[in-house]
Amino acid sequence: MSIRQILTHPGGAHKDEFLACCVLASVHRCEIVRREPNDADLADPEVAVIDVGGEHERERSNFDHHQFPADHDPVCALSLVLMDLGVYEDARRFCDWLETSERLDVTGPRGTAAWLGVEPEVMAKLNSPIDITLLRRFASVSEVSPGEPLYEVMCWIGGDLLEYLRSLRERLEFIAQHAEVWEVGELKVLFMPRTEPLPDEPSAGLGRHLEAIGLEETVSGLVYPDRRGSGYGLSRFRDDLRFDFTRIEKEDDVHFAHARGFVAKSSATDAERLRELLLAAQV
């Protein structure tokens, strides 16, 4: 459906409607207006009404959640927009921050802190100046249009989120076709061979692949092509301390080992040599 205007509430801005507007702006490239909707807005399917209006009607492009009962699963305006675009399930699976954002919007920082199992004071420590500035700038305007700096940043945010979700499944399928699980000593390691063309981020998706095949609790390390050289990167998975890559820092074919021991880079390309380095790095 074509959207010619995105409309959300005036006043203070929150992350859920801001991100929902980002996603829709990246798709439709139409103006965003911040005011209360009228009946004509709610009836017009070409006006996307976000986080206000008191109804969730996808066929009319109305995406409010405030009318849902208290026992409804925590969802926010962003959730409803992602559902409409058919990417919500992938977003809940692959975006670890989404459920926390949903709960923050619906249950507030205290309820979210209880769900996370942390003290309420911890929530304020997670605030980012990036979030604060973008939300403050968004709250200060009554409308934002294509070509304006804020609008283009919003499109970057929404476009990157959608691209991540749409490309990750392809990436996971690719990893499934090529990756191998090695047993090295007492530990398991996921090995991703070098392929052509080399992805921009050769290690991207490896953790998600392990989750998909049920090995996220048993694999301790990762080996993947080094995007800056012809060799490989070696790293802990989930910071498993049974690997300490400072133990191999003096090897001739290891040109970098982080002082904290969680990652190293080697010019080695032979699988047997990589196994030797992994074995030597075990604590």
The residues spanned by each domain of the chain are: 5-167, 179-281
With cut-offs at 50, 70 and 90, classify the pLDDT of residue 176. Answer: very high
Cis check for the bond before 197: say yes or no (omega within 30 of 0): yes
What is the length of the chain? 283
Q: What is the CA radius of gyration of the chain?
A: 23
Mean pLDDT computed over 140-166: 97
pLDDT digits (tens, 9 = 90+) for 27-53: 999 999 999 999 999 999 999 999 999
With cut-offs at 50, 70 and 90, classify the pLDDT of residue 83. Answer: very high
H runs (alpha helix) in the chain: 15-28, 39-43, 77-84, 88-94, 96-116, 121-124, 129-139, 149-178, 206-212, 271-281
**Distance between CA atoms of 49 and 91, rounded to whole angstroms?**
21
Phi, psi of 164 (to 5 degrees): -60, -45
Looking at residue 150, its pLDDT comes to 98
With cut-offs at 50, 70 and 90, classify the pLDDT of residue 199. Answer: confident
| Nearest to 169, CA basis, from 61, 52, 252, 87 | 87
Read off the amino acid at residue 71: D
Q: Which residues contact 18 (CB under 8 A, 6 or more apart)?
A: 134, 135, 138, 154
Looking at residue 200, its pLDDT comes to 83
Q: Which CATH number fits domain 179-281: 1.10.1670, 3.10.310, 1.10.10, 1.10.287?
A: 3.10.310
Q: Using the predicted structure, report yes or no on whether residue 1 has a pLDDT greater than 80.
A: no
DSSP designation for 113: H
Mean pLDDT computed over 180-188: 97
Looking at residue 211, its pLDDT comes to 94
Mean pLDDT computed over 228-246: 96
| Nearest to 222, CA basis, from 193, 189, 188, 181 | 189
The answer to whether 205 and 224 have CB atoms below 8 angstroms apart is no
**Distance between CA atoms of 242 and 278, rounded to whole angstroms?**
11
Mean pLDDT computed over 137-141: 98
pTM of the model: 0.84
Ramachandran class of 11: left when φ > 0, alpha when ψ lies in -120 to 50, beta otherwise: left
Looking at residue 189, its pLDDT comes to 98
| Nearest to 248, CA basis, from 256, 240, 239 | 256
CA atoms 105, 209, 194, 272: torsion sign: positive
Task: Name the percent of the chain lying above pLDDT 90.
Answer: 95
Mean pLDDT computed over 234-248: 98
Looking at residue 198, its pLDDT comes to 86
Q: Using the predicted structure, report yes or no on whether residue 81 has a pLDDT greater than 90.
A: yes
Task: Name the percent of the chain lying above pLDDT 70.
Answer: 100
Q: Using the predicted structure, report yes or no on whether residue 257 has a pLDDT greater than 90.
A: yes
pLDDT averaged over the chain? 96
pLDDT digits (tens, 9 = 90+) for 2-20: 999 999 999 999 999 999 9
